[in-house]
Amino acid sequence: MPYQGRKRQKTIAHGGKQVRVEETQSQHPDSEEDTSSSSVENPEIEDHSSTENEEEDDRAASSEAPEQHSSLPLVTRMDDQAGLSSTAKQRPLKRFDITPLFSAEFSKFQQQRESELLKTLKTRRQLTKRHRQLSRDALKKRALLEEQKNLLKQLEVDITSLTTGLKDVRNERTRKRQGVRLLPTSKSHT
């Protein structure tokens, strides 16, 4: 099957003007894809859009690589600067407005912020001091607890030795008493 194509015309608004655009959609017999091409009847609009694209490309190139810009010939640089100045006149530069930084409200806000920061810093210092003091106290208490544990162990050892000593003394006394009692009876047997 030979080449098939379909033409369609439509009117679009471009820059406040009505422009007639002719679109051609073609379909090759081997592929199912639609390809579109458009032709503009008004060549001024096409030139205008191409110059805008060139200016945007020039601006992007100059902002991305300023060192490359300086190596260009003087004539080219002059043309670029002239193009930039004309676009700068068309669109005013948007800069950060720093006047609120010097206003009374901002200075009041800044003073409030500084006072809050100073308060938090003071509180943090106090908490740090308190934490250090508590950690020192905790270390002292741990050392005291260790000493007390050691003393308790020593006391337990002493108590056990004393109780065994007391038991031995009691047992000895009871033996002596029993021995005294046993002695007279043994004499009586003889």
Task: Examine residue 111 and state whether it is found in any structural domain, yes or no.
Answer: yes
3-state SS assignment for residue 34: coil
CA atoms within 13 A on the CB side of 139: 5
Average the pLDDT over 63-74 and give the result: 50
DSSP label at residue 24: E
pLDDT in tens, 119-141: 999 999 999 999 999 999 999 99
Q: What pLDDT does residue 159 have?
A: 96
DSSP label at residue 29: S
Q: At what angle do helices 74-90 and 43-64 cross, to 10 degrees?
A: 110
In the structure encoding, which two tokens stand for residue 54, read together? 């060139």
Number of domains forming the structure of the chain: 1
> d(Cα 46, Cα 19) in Å, to the nearest integer?
11
In the structure encoding, which two tokens stand for residue 178, read together? 């029993």
H or E segment to which residue 5 belongs: strand 4-14
Average the pLDDT over 178-184 and give the result: 66
Task: Examine residue 30 and state whether it is found in any structural domain, yes or no.
Answer: no
**Domain residue limits at 119:** 101-159
H or E segment to which residue 108 belongs: helix 104-189
Task: Examine residue 133 and state whether it is found in any structural domain, yes or no.
Answer: yes
- pLDDT over 50 (residue 40): no
Q: What pLDDT does residue 8 have?
A: 66
Q: What pLDDT does residue 180 have?
A: 67
pLDDT in tens, 77-118: 555 555 555 555 555 556 666 666 667 787 888 899 999 999
Task: Examine residue 5 and state whether it is found in any structural domain, yes or no.
Answer: no
Decide: 36 and 58 in contact? Cβ < 8 Å. Answer: no
